[in-house]
Structure 1
Amino acid sequence: MLQRQVSAPPYSIFTQAEKIWIISLVSISALISPFGATLFYPVLNVLSDVLHVTPTMTNISITTYMIAQAIAPAIIGGMSDNSGRRLSFIVCFVIFIAANIGLALQTNYVALLILRILQAFGCSAAISLSVAVVADVSTSAERGKYMGYATSGILFGPAFGPTIGGILARYLGWRSTFWFLAIFAGTLLVLFVFLFPETCRAVVGNGSIPAKGVNRSVLSYLRERRHSRESVLVEENTSAHSAEKRKFKLPNPLSTLKILGEKESCIVLLYNGLFFTGMMVVSAALPDLFLDAYGLDELKIGLCYISIGTGCLISSLTTGHIVDWNFRRHARHLNMPIVKGKQQDLSNFPIEQVRMQIVAPGHVIGTLGLVAFGWTVKYRTHIAGPEVALFVIGFGVSTAFNITNTLLIDLHRNQPATATAAVNFVRCLMSAGGCAAIIPMCHAMNPGWAFTFIALIYTALIGVVFWVMKAGMRWRQEAEREKRMKDGSTHPEPPTTGRHPIHTEKK
């Protein structure tokens, strides 16, 4: 009897160049969500005058937008986990284009609220879909880097979205901001229809199963022709699994709420949502605060967002590499081999500690930035003061937000879009409440105490970071044991690892 080692299939057969193209496309597509929100900020004061409503009423349109953002990904994200990413992206772009055309033509406050809800439905799922694509093509050891690249588009929006909105509003009128968004989404629609390959593992496995119908792009067709001349390893049982999953299933929003019922995921989601709310309330309050403190017009207000967005962008492009370095450091300490392109077994690996160790510094930095922003605006210092504070907020908050997102994907590798939809559900509902309350808080307490109050909440919230680091792996293992007992299984399911299985063969 001889033993021979058979190489396990790669986690994804997409080449490095293909991964770069895929991540680049989803990063650009994710811009529609922050653009949809932030191009709107510089024209808030203008719309208040045009529609004859108060600034607080105009801010309600931000609240309704965020509520819709919370709900939409639960529907579209679940659909993408079953039926593919391409179809979900295309549906999002079509809805977004229609909503922006309507917003460009509307003339009353009620229409503004309704169309902003429709706009949010069209763009909010782009974030969860982008993160899901990263989970489709990258392993846990390299996910920090790719998550950083993919979310750089999400965070680029706050940097230049208000600036673009301010320029358009100043020289072409406020309606031009919505025409810009419609044209931008139309361009993305063409790119995705023709050049974006299907990545959903329920549909194409590790990429080796040919996509069919709407899941097939021109790029997929060319790649399949190339691979048809090569010997491609297909994951065991993938074909049968794919055949089952290709049948269209109605999206189930309750699957998102089910993730909220898991102890560890719920704690991470609530932390993520509360902390992210700080950056959103700063963005929503900035036009009113800077108009009152510095008398800025819509163009200059738009330029003021560059600092917070630049902080977000730098964090996104740098901390992902630190996250992957920390993963490799822990893997060496535990003698866990890392094979390029193979997913590691995380069942006994402290992935929570690996991720949250990088979250803690970001948490502290973001909290200090909030305090500095509130008091510099309160005392109307030179505008460089709040601008530096905005950069610090952007860097700190986005560091914590991105890494907790990555952790949730590690915990739900088979449902990445649903997991990210849960993130959107929690953070958008919290942000909606925060954005509605922040201007009345600033008027009642003054900006210094309003943002200090938020910072005090975050000072207590840092305890959650260390709690998850200490107990997260135990919670995860307990949940897995309960799941096996519920399923009537006495043995754990074989993990997806990068180790090569040993096959025996009789001679």
Structure 2
Amino acid sequence: MASEETPLLVGVPDIAEPEPHVPMNHDHIYSRFTPWRKRGILTLVSCSGLIPFFVSGTFIPAISQIASDLSTTPEMVSLTISLSIFGAAIGSMAMATYSGFYGRRPIYLASLPFFCLGSYQIAVAQNIYSLIAWRFVQSVGISGGMSLGAGVIGDIYGLEERGFAMGVFYGVSLLGPAIAPVTGGIATHYSSWRMLQWAFLICGLALLMSMALWLPETSHPGSLGVEKTFDQDRSEPRFTLLRRKWGWVWLNPFSSLGLLRSPNLMLVMLAGTAILLTDFVLLVPLAYTIGAKYGITNEALIGAVFIPCGLGNVVGAPLAGFISDRVVHAYRSKRRGEWYPEDRLRTTLIGAATCAPLSVLLVGATVTYVPGRTGLLMCLGLLFLNGIGVDLVLCPSAAYNVDVVHTRSAEIMAANNGSRALLISLLVPLILPSITHFGVLATNAAAALIAWTGLALLALTIRYGEELRGWKDVGYSTVDSN
């Protein structure tokens, strides 16, 4: 019978008195922290996941003001967005890798000062080159928010409660895209883009202090690389062991990408990319589609149009997590306690089949054929539906990734998010040219077809999950280690 047991569930001996490892009860792993302590930890990591989305979302409305202030072109300022995406992808994978060696807490505490330093230097930047360099540093400093947060959730929440916790995490994190554009537009219009950076510096310092005071190390006892190194070297003198435990070790930051050799994980990543693309097709050209159709030209109002999609994310993520937990429990009971990991993905089928593709398709039709206030209200409702639909796919998929490679949860999240971001970055530049040449309806219809392709990939993974896992074992957490 399959179970979520891993070879990492062992006790850690005191370094002063080395003793053989004693196996730790599996249930005890998830009861180390009280429910209230878990909620506090979840709040901290969710805030860390919120900040990168908020920073990137508020930057876009300020592009023209930054270009004017620094005597450069909007195209040069836009270059910082591409470099920040690159920095976030690299940083996320590196932090996920090192968190598996040193622990979640040290990586949080080491990375957040770079975010604060980057925010300060951007606030006082006097030329575009300084802005580009420090925007990269800022992005790297906060890039671990999603991957480390997912890793922490996998550390402290068991199988049948992990989906809801992941949903809350995603819901808070995706609040950033909901409120960032309008916040950035208002702040830029009534104050300055530099004031936003000062605000980010304050937020970064507050989060750093909160992490230092209240975030414990959540990694499972005996699972960290430094602990395994200690186990192998326990014959050496105590001072040498301590020095080695806290010494720097060079690791391959891209090693997490090897997890995508798994057909299951690769298919889920591609499916999530296909569904997430509908979000970008709706939001990236919003000023030229919904804005142009219904006469919305004010930057703050354009930012406000983003809100329904963000609210859909906030509602959809916890809902998706809750449903996926219930589905896992129901199917596990039906199979008399046997766990089939792909059962969690059944929750994604609703969003992939209806909400995400139909919302993008109907927005295209509405913008093309429905004028006036009626058309605008329909579009706002469909944006809300899209936010729910995207989360019905991404949230259970994230929990599934943590379920099946539980020992490398932060790394699989980094590999998944980084690869998805790369694919999206290649597709996004095609959206506006497609709308210009083929129209809104044709472009949105193509996005809907791609989303339905994602549905097929998810259905394939659910149907043949066990067989696909047999093709390539990347260290699945589905077989009892004993």
TM-score bracket, normalised by the shorter chain, equals 0.7 to 0.9
Superposed CA deviations along residues 115-165 of structure 1, whole A, max 9, x for unmatched, are 333232122211101100000001111111111122222111111122222
Name the amino acid aligned to 2:435. C
* Secondary structure of the corresponding residue to residue 159 of structure 2: coil
Instruction: Name the CA shift for 1:24/1:370 in 2 (closer, same or farther; >3 Å).
Output: same
1:310 maps to 311
Name the amino acid aligned to 2:465. G
2:122 to 85, 93, 103: 103
1:146 maps to 165
**Post-superposition offset of 1:277:** 3.1
Q: Would you say the 8 A contact 1:97–1:185 is kept in 2? A: yes
Distance 1:254 1:173 in 2: 38
2:218 maps to 199
Q: Would you say the 8 A contact 1:29–1:188 is kept in 2? A: yes
Instruction: Name the CA shift for 1:463/1:373 in 2 (closer, same or farther; >3 Å).
Output: same
Instruction: Name the CA shift for 1:7/1:469 in 2 (closer, same or farther; >3 Å).
Output: closer
Name the amino acid aligned to 1:19. K
1:415 maps to 408
Q: Does 1:495 align with 2:481?
A: yes
**Post-superposition offset of 1:328:** 1.1
1:404 to 397, 404, 407: 397
Name the amino acid aligned to 1:455. A
Q: In the TM superposition, what are the counterparts of 1:231-246 in structure 2 within 5 Å?
A: 240=231, 246=245
2:351 maps to 362
Q: Which runs of 5+ in 1 are unaligned?
A: 1-5, 206-210, 213-236, 337-347, 485-491, 497-507
* Secondary structure of the corresponding residue to residue 464 of structure 1: helix
Aligned residues: 442
Q: Which runs of 5+ in 2 are unaligned?
A: 1-23, 235-240
State which drifts further: 194-203 or 244-253: 244-253
1:450 maps to 443
Q: Would you say the 8 A contact 1:85–1:129 is kept in 2? A: yes
1:217 maps to none
Distance 2:431 2:195 in 1: 28
Distance 1:105 1:378 in 2: 45
Instruction: Name the CA shift for 1:195/1:357 in 2 (closer, same or farther; >3 Å).
Output: same
Distance 1:24 1:241 in 2: 36
1:376 maps to 366
**Post-superposition offset of 1:112:** 4.1
**Post-superposition offset of 1:289:** 4.2
* Secondary structure of the corresponding residue to residue 201 of structure 1: coil
1:19 maps to 38
**Post-superposition offset of 1:33:** 1.4
Name the amino acid aligned to 2:350. P
Distance 1:272 1:358 in 2: 13
State which drifts further: 460-469 or 91-100: 91-100
* Secondary structure of the corresponding residue to residue 30 of structure 1: helix
2:19 maps to none
1:62 to 67, 74, 81: 81
Instruction: Name the CA shift for 1:453/1:493 in 2 (closer, same or farther; >3 Å).
Output: closer
Name the amino acid aligned to 1:430. L
**Post-superposition offset of 1:264:** 1.7
Name the amino acid aligned to 1:277. L
Instruction: Name the CA shift for 1:54/1:371 in 2 (closer, same or farther; >3 Å).
Output: farther
2:253 maps to 253
Q: In the TM superposition, what are the counterparts of 1:255-294 in structure 2 within 5 Å?
A: 255-289=255-289, 292-293=292-293, 294=295
**Post-superposition offset of 1:85:** 0.9
Name the amino acid aligned to 1:285. P
Distance 1:264 1:376 in 2: 36
Distance 1:27 1:33 in 2: 11
Distance 2:449 2:471 in 1: 33
Distance 2:288 2:75 in 1: 10
Distance 1:242 1:325 in 2: 44
Instruction: Name the CA shift for 1:451/1:61 in 2 (closer, same or farther; >3 Å).
Output: farther
Q: Would you say the 8 A contact 2:270–2:454 is kept in 1? A: no
Distance 2:126 2:281 in 1: 27
Q: Does 1:36 align with 2:26?
A: no
Name the amino acid aligned to 2:270. L
Distance 1:51 1:127 in 2: 32
State which drifts further: 397-406 or 86-95: 86-95
Give the percent of matched residue pairs that are identical in Structure 1 and Structure 2: 24
Q: Would you say the 8 A contact 2:281–2:444 is kept in 1? A: no
Distance 1:86 1:427 in 2: 26
Instruction: Name the CA shift for 1:445/1:61 in 2 (closer, same or farther; >3 Å).
Output: farther
State which drifts further: 98-107 or 25-34: 98-107
1:181 to 186, 200, 212: 200
1:119 to 138, 141, 157: 138
Q: Would you say the 8 A contact 2:163–2:321 is kept in 1? A: yes
Instruction: Name the CA shift for 1:252/1:302 in 2 (closer, same or farther; >3 Å).
Output: same
Q: Would you say the 8 A contact 1:141–1:327 is kept in 2? A: yes
TM-score of the superposed pair, with normalisation by structure 2: 0.83
Instruction: Name the CA shift for 1:9/1:392 in 2 (closer, same or farther; >3 Å).
Output: closer
1:221 maps to none
Q: Would you say the 8 A contact 2:345–2:462 is kept in 1? A: yes
Q: Does 1:432 align with 2:421?
A: no
